[in-house]
């Protein structure tokens, strides 16, 4: 494809993404390219490179467009600014690509030509080349919606700039080694024989991080279930469940089953894992992954909602319950940069009470002495610490298990963060942003010992669980 044709495809893909604001950009892109089989692998990579640059730095691109007097940013204008400020093409090359020829974008208007000259030439040194500019507010430089910037500032304080910059970087590609089939060293060796270079991750004992980009779908290691694509942070959340062979475990918001796969492998296929979700489509997608991994102790269970009657029927029946709750997904902005622009205040207002309902309902499944693991891929205290604090205040029969006590059996190296909970961020740990809290239900004996004694008479006082 010509440079102009690639640019036109990038503009059209951005238009398709804008037309489906709640659909993930990668899903829109996949559908877009399926209908355009003529786009080869190299062209597709180049097109997606421009599209994801625009999605990551949309706020800055819009700031520049406003500065050069294009008041209504569009996919076309954003691509123009991206080529000038991020890709840093010479102005003449950009103008030549917008040639109006077949498959290329229409010629630049006089207004666009003037804007391009200012974007590539500028009137002051600070205006030339760099996407950053000293006049940009912090939320513009960080490419975050203004409404969420105060909450992120509260979460990170003087580390905010580092975290926002890290969220603008492309995500790493991490693999989890399937312990049912191999070891990490053996998986590394096999990948190397297939031309795939990877390195052990520093925190997850099962993790590998790819060096460079390489499609994995056609490798024997992937087809044979030796490795599974999973961010290192997600691996650690599954490891925190600490499910042992023979246990009964629930993955309450299982989605496509990534963490259920990891949990089942850690149990050596012994015991019982129930992968629950309210989406039949997501559960169905997990079936192929389970078969490829050689996992056969996972049952998939479709729930109507978090209060499904199945939960009540299985009260206090499980050793471990993982709640990987629906959330804003801010911690995954490196790989889902469109998420920062599809999120609005109403989403957060609806998610926080929903998370509380899901956590309270799932807690009913935990047996005395069992553990409840609450996790999100958010960086906001409202979805993380505050959510756990609210739960513990309403459920005195649960107590947190400090991360420091859990870590020797979970991860590699020193404990990665201070405090009782797992907090992972791209800037500090090189993972997606994750939060996890492990909460243990007090044993029946403990509850009996803590129960108040009767004031008088011969009435016995029995400990009981007041959780619905």
Burial of 341 (C-beta count, 10 Å sphere; 0-12/13-18/19+): middle
Distance CA 226, CA 188 (A): 10
- Could you tell me if 161 and 426 are in contact, meaning their C-beta atoms sit under 8 angstroms apart? no
* Other C-beta atoms lying within 10 Å of the C-beta of residue 331: 27
Distance CA 230, CA 170 (A): 15
Distance CA 334, CA 403 (A): 26
One DSSP character per residue, 178-202 reads: -TTT--HHHHHHHHHHTT--EEE-S
What is residue 9's three-state secondary structure? helix
CA 273: distance to chain centroid? 23
Distance CA 248, CA 369 (A): 13
Burial of 101 (C-beta count, 10 Å sphere; 0-12/13-18/19+): middle
Can 377 be counted among the known catalytic residues? yes
Q: Which of 253, 327, 377, 417 is catalytic?
A: 377
Distance CA 334, CA 341 (A): 13
- Could you tell me if 395 and 467 are in contact, meaning their C-beta atoms sit under 8 angstroms apart? yes
- Could you tell me if 258 and 283 are in contact, meaning their C-beta atoms sit under 8 angstroms apart? no
Distance CA 105, CA 96 (A): 10
* Other C-beta atoms lying within 10 Å of the C-beta of residue 59: 20
Phi then psi dihedrals of residue 370, to 5 deg: -85, 175
β-strands 398-400, 227-229: how paired? unpaired
Distance CA 301, CA 277 (A): 7
Burial of 425 (C-beta count, 10 Å sphere; 0-12/13-18/19+): buried
The residues annotated as belonging to the active site are 377
């Amino acid at each position: 494809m010509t440079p102009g044709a690639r640019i036109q495809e990038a503009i059209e893909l951005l238009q398709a993404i804008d037309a489906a604001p709640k659909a993930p950009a990668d899903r829109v892109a996949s559908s877009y390219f399926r209908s355009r089989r003529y786009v080869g692998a190299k062209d597709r990579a180049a097109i997606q490179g421009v599209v994801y640059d625009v999605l990551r730095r949309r706020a800055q691109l819009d700031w520049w467009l406003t500065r050069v007097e294009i008041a209504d940013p569009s996919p076309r204008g954003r691509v123009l600014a991206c080529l000038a400020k991020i890709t840093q093409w010479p102005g003449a090359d950009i103008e030549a690509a917008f040639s109006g020829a077949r498959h290329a974008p229409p010629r630049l208007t006089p207004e666009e030509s003037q804007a391009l000259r200012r974007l590539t030439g500028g009137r002051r040194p600070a205006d030339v080349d760099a996407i950053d500019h000293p006049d940009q507010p912090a939320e513009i430089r960080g490419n975050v919606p203004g409404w969420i910037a105060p909450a992120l500032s509260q979460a990170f304080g003087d580390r905010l700039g580092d975290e926002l910059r890290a969220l603008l970087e492309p995500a790493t590609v991490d693999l989890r080694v399937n312990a049912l089939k191999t070891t990490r060293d053996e998986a590394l060796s096999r990948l190397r024989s297939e031309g795939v270079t990877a390195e052990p991750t520093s925190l997850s004992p099962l993790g590998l991080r790819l060096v460079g980009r390489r499609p994995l779908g056609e490798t024997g290691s992937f087809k044979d279930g030796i490795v599974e694509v999973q961010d290192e942070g997600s691996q650690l959340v599954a490891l925190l469940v600490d499910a042992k062979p023979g246990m009964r475990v629930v993955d309450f918001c299982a989605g496509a089953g990534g963490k259920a796969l990891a949990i089942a492998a850690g149990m050596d296929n012994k015991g019982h894992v129930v992968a629950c979700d309210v989406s039949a489509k997501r559960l169905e997608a997990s079936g192929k992954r389970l078969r490829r991994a050689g996992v056969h102790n996972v049952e998939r269970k479709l729930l109507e909602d978090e209060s499904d009657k199945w939960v009540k029927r299985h009260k206090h029946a499980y050793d471990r319950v993982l709640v990987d709750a629906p959330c804003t997904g801010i911690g995954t902005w490196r790989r889902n940069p469109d998420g920062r622009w599809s999120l609005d205040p109403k989403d957060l207002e609806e998610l926080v009470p929903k998370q509380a309902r899901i956590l309270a309902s799932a807690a009913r499944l935990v047996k005395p002495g069992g553990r409840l693991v609450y996790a999100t891929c958010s960086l906001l205290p409202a979805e993380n610490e505050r959510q756990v604090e609210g739960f513990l205040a309403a459920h005195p029969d649960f107590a947190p298990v400090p991360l420091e006590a859990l870590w020797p059996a979970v991860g590699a190296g020193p404990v990665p963060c201070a405090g009782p909970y797992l907090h992972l961020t791209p800037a500090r740990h090189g993972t997606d942003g994750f939060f996890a809290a492990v909460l243990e239900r007090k044993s029946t004996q403990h509850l009996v010992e803590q129960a108040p004694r009767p004031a008088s008479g011969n009435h016995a006082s029995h400990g009981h669980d007041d959780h619905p």
